[in-house]
Amino acid sequence: MPQLRWLGHAAVELNLGGKHILIDPMIKDNPVSPVKLNYFENNLNLIIVTHDHYDHLGDTVELMKINPKAYLFATYDLENYLATQFNIPWERMIPANVGGYIDFDGIKLALTKAVHSSEHSDPTGAIVSGEGVTIYHAGDTGLFEDMKLIGEIFKPDYVLLPIGGRFTMDPYQAAIAVEMLKPKKYAIPIHYNTWDLIKVDPNDFVKEVSKRGYKALVLQPGQSVEL
């Protein structure tokens, strides 16, 4: 059974299509992470990074070292930076940019637009699809109208949306995003309450999503959901 586990902040663990996948892997500096870095030693197939801010790039370099068979999926420019600065071999990269699906051994991957900032590449969201389930991880982003296109093209079952405000959408804006994305199952809030600067009540998001006729699912750090 496919499974998603929220590790706090924007870090998300997926078990999908026989693959162990980690998105935006800030583990060491994540004050609410339920696991230590060594939990992921020699068991990851894929690491996805939406952009290079420290709370999203996180422990990518070390995780690639302790998972010698894992691949990295990010924008070409970010991968080029990591290859140049940290000697991650290109043979372990899946170069991409915002566009259509790429096949990764039976899992479909895509990068989407995000409205944010980043030093070495444009920020992105990510689509992961397999076993009949499609997940959209928005990365860090403000609200933008092209979310309607993301929903129309990729038809996500689950959407993972930042709600912490200040650096991303707040709960009200994220609920508008849900209305545009039209998830078939649940909207899951992320990127909030890690630190006081992004402290919000996720129940505000739940209420706003419900008003719009969709369902939100609030996970605690470490909590899983079968997809």
Range of the domain at 130: 3-218
In a domain, 153, yes or no: yes
pLDDT (tens digit per residue) in 151-208: 999 999 999 999 999 999 999 999 999 999 999 999 999 999 999 999 999 999 999 9
In a domain, 226, yes or no: no
User: Residue 203: its pLDDT value, please?
Assistant: 98
85: which 2 tokens? 């600065």
List all residues 6 or more positions away from 27 whose beta carbon is below 8 Å from its beta carbon.
7, 11, 33, 35, 36, 37, 40, 58, 59
pLDDT (tens digit per residue) in 1-47: 899 999 999 999 999 999 999 999 999 999 999 999 999 999 999 99
In a domain, 224, yes or no: no
User: Residue 1: its pLDDT value, please?
Assistant: 87
In a domain, 47, yes or no: yes
Residue range 124-153: mean pLDDT, rounded? 98
pLDDT (tens digit per residue) in 53-110: 999 999 999 999 999 999 999 999 999 999 999 999 999 999 999 999 999 999 999 9
Distances (CA, A) of 211 to 36, 175, 193, 216, 217: 38, 9, 23, 11, 14
- By C-alpha distance, which of 124, 121, 158, 122 is closest to 141? 124
User: Residue 206: its pLDDT value, please?
Assistant: 98
User: Residue 168: its pLDDT value, please?
Assistant: 98
Number of structural domains (the chain) is: 1
In a domain, 227, yes or no: no
In a domain, 176, yes or no: yes
In a domain, 64, yes or no: yes
Distances (CA, A) of 226 to 3, 14, 122, 198, 223: 4, 10, 32, 27, 10
Domain with residue 87: its CATH number is 3.60.15.10
User: Residue 88: its pLDDT value, please?
Assistant: 95
**CB hemisphere CA count around 159 (13 angstroms):** 30
In a domain, 223, yes or no: no
